[in-house]
Amino acid sequence: MTASSPCFTAIEIFDRRPDGVRFSVKLTPKAASNMLDRVELDSDGAARLRVCVTVAPEKGKANKALIALLAKEFGLPKSTIHIQSGDTARLKTLHIDGDPDHLIDQLSRAMTRMSLVFDPPPTRKRTPMAQLIDGKAFAANLRRTIADQVAQLNRDHGITPGLAVVLVGNDPASEVYVRNKGRQTIEVGMQSFEHRLPQNTDEAQVLDLVARLNADPNVHGILVQLPLPEQIDSAHVLAAIDPKKDVDGFHVINAGLLATGGKGLVPCTPLGCMMMLHDHLGDLSGLDAVVVGRSNIVGKPLAHLLLAANCTVTIAHSRSRDLPDICRKADILVAAVGRPCMIKGDWIKPGATVIDVGINRIPAPEKGEGKSRLVGDVDFASAQKHAGAITPVPGGVGPMTIACLLANTLTATCRIHGLDPSDPDAR
Ligand SMILES: Nc1nc(=O)c2c([nH]1)NC[C@@H]1CN(c3ccc(C(=O)N[C@@H](CCC(=O)O)C(=O)O)cc3)C=[N+]21
């Protein structure tokens, strides 16, 4: 027996699960148009959604089109929608990740708009959802500005900034980052120099390469990808980089300049976080900022930047007593611990701005065997209900880190040539 909508309600279609919702779809490929067609009953009397896509069911194209269409119509990120079963069948079970209450609410509104269900708008008081801070878009804008400045530097002074990246060993994740960095470096009009050394390289060989890069006038920025293989002491390598070319801002000279209010090069991730905070909040004076994590790469330098922006800064970490309570005081909460989904929604002060620095790859069996996905240090689904604004993972801090690496390379180039980047007339 089949029945046509709208005689269904959203909760008959979308099954509440602890980590999202589950629902059934019957897919028609090679249809005249892409659309969510109707809701019908299957032979067991369960409601399922009929969806049409124009593409043929070849090489997963129809599944891809299905997810893209659902994401668009439901207003959800594609990455949250997964085919749980029925990959190659017309009948499929899908799963959407997220907070089930919020999802049912959002799906009900979308389905009502498409006249697929007759749910009245939910009367339950809705918690307003946090605004997303779109790091990917921000980074793209920043790269455009940098590209313009690189072109101007080239036109007026005949200088092309050059960034050297050193990768020791062949960690697959590092390979991806290094390739991305190289591509974006070239896209903004800079020169990219990639140096790949084998896993068994010794410290002296890395130091020798760093010395050559220090002396090379075409190289204005040097980044040695961390972590390094264990036979190499990264402190020795970082100390060997000319602080003027230290675009990671990891040299003790740059760390010291940051701590004492001097003018050095600032680590990329903290710099990107500050740009997003200033863009979103304007003046940060007087705000309570809590940084969870005390690394030299993120936690400590970010705390200094927040302090310089007149925040009241707390650095919390794994040994902090009553971490949830410390977090609840924060107007600005930064998570940089490297523990997937550690910071929960009810640790967040209502309306706070949350910056999620964590990039954790975790198994995602719902996407298929051996698959994985990226999550932050913040439990996004619950955080979204408390925060005023939040950076997503992926698409938040990560892209800003790379854009800031390019910004630092431009800054370093200008300073090396005696052109102050903060003074536009100097260029
Ligand atoms: N000397 C040094 N400097 C670094 O800056 C440095 C390093 N070593 N070692 C490795 C980490 C890692 N890192 C990332 C930068 C961007 C993304 C990024 O853009 N992530 C994307 C997702 C990328 C994906 O899909 O895997 C996002 O968050 O949206 C991730 C990670 C820089 N690192």
Mean pLDDT of 275-295: 97
Answer yes or no: is 62 within a domain: yes
**Which two structure tokens, joined as six digits, stand for 60?**
């997963």
pLDDT at res. 305: 98
Percent of the chain beyond pLDDT 70?
95
Mean pLDDT of 160-175: 94
Which residues are identified as catalytic?
Answer: 181, 225, 248
What is the sign, positive or negative, of the torsion defined by CA atoms of 312, 134, 372, 95? positive
Residue 359, helix vs strand vs coil = coil
Best residue among 223, 248, 401 to mutate for probing ligand 1's pocket (most ligand atoms within 8 Å of CB) is 401
d(CA 180, ligand 1 centre) in Å: 9
Atom 17, ligand 1: residue with shortest CA distance:
398
List CB contacts of 327: < 8 A, sequence separation 6 or more: 290, 292, 316, 333, 343, 347, 348, 349
Answer yes or no: is 25 within a domain: yes
d(CA 185, ligand 1 centre) in Å: 14
Answer yes or no: is 281 within a domain: no
Domain coverage including residue 22: 10-113
Let me know: does 122 contact 102? Beta carbons within 8 Å. no
Q: Is the pLDDT of residue 425 over 50?
A: no
Answer yes or no: is 352 within a domain: no
pLDDT at res. 120: 63
pLDDT at res. 42: 86
Atom 9, ligand 1: residue with shortest CA distance:
226
pLDDT at res. 355: 98
Q: What CATH number is given to the structural domain containing 89? A: 3.30.1200.10
Ligand 1 atom closest to the CA of 173, numbered from 1: 26
pLDDT at res. 2: 45
The rounded Cα 114 to chain-centroid distance in angstroms is 31
Answer yes or no: is 282 within a domain: no
Let me know: does 199 contact 229? Beta carbons within 8 Å. yes
pLDDT at res. 227: 94
Q: Calculate the average pLDDT of the chain.
A: 93
Q: Residue 329 and residue 311: Cα distance in Å, rounded?
A: 13
Q: Which residues are annotated as a binding site?
A: 293-295, 359
pLDDT digits (tens, 9 = 90+) for 43-94: 888 899 999 999 999 999 999 999 999 999 999 999 999 999 999 999 999 9
pLDDT at res. 46: 87
pLDDT digits (tens, 9 = 90+) for 288-323: 999 999 999 999 999 999 999 999 999 999 899 999
Q: Is the pLDDT of residue 372 over 50?
A: yes
pLDDT at res. 427: 39
Range name among 52-66, 111-125, 190-204, 287-301 with the lowest pLDDT average: 111-125
Q: Closest by alpha carbon to 44, among 71, 24, 19?
A: 24
Ligand 1 atom closest to the CA of 223, numbered from 1: 1
CB-count burial class (<10 Å; 0-12, 13-18, 19+) for 420: middle
Ligand 1 atom closest to the CA of 136, numbered from 1: 29
- Of residues 1 and 355, the one with the higher pLDDT is 355
Mean pLDDT of 335-347: 97
- Of residues 235 and 177, the one with the higher pLDDT is 235
CB-count burial class (<10 Å; 0-12, 13-18, 19+) for 200: exposed
pLDDT at res. 121: 57
Q: Is the pLDDT of residue 245 over 70?
A: yes
The total domain count for the chain is 1
Answer yes or no: is 121 within a domain: no
Answer yes or no: is 133 within a domain: no
The Cα-based distances of 383 to 39, 132, 391 in angstroms read 32, 11, 11
* DSSP label at residue 229: P
Atom 21, ligand 1: residue with shortest CA distance:
398
Atom 16, ligand 1: residue with shortest CA distance:
398
Answer yes or no: is 394 within a domain: no
Q: Is the pLDDT of residue 1 over 80?
A: no
C-beta 338 within 6 A of ligand 1 = no
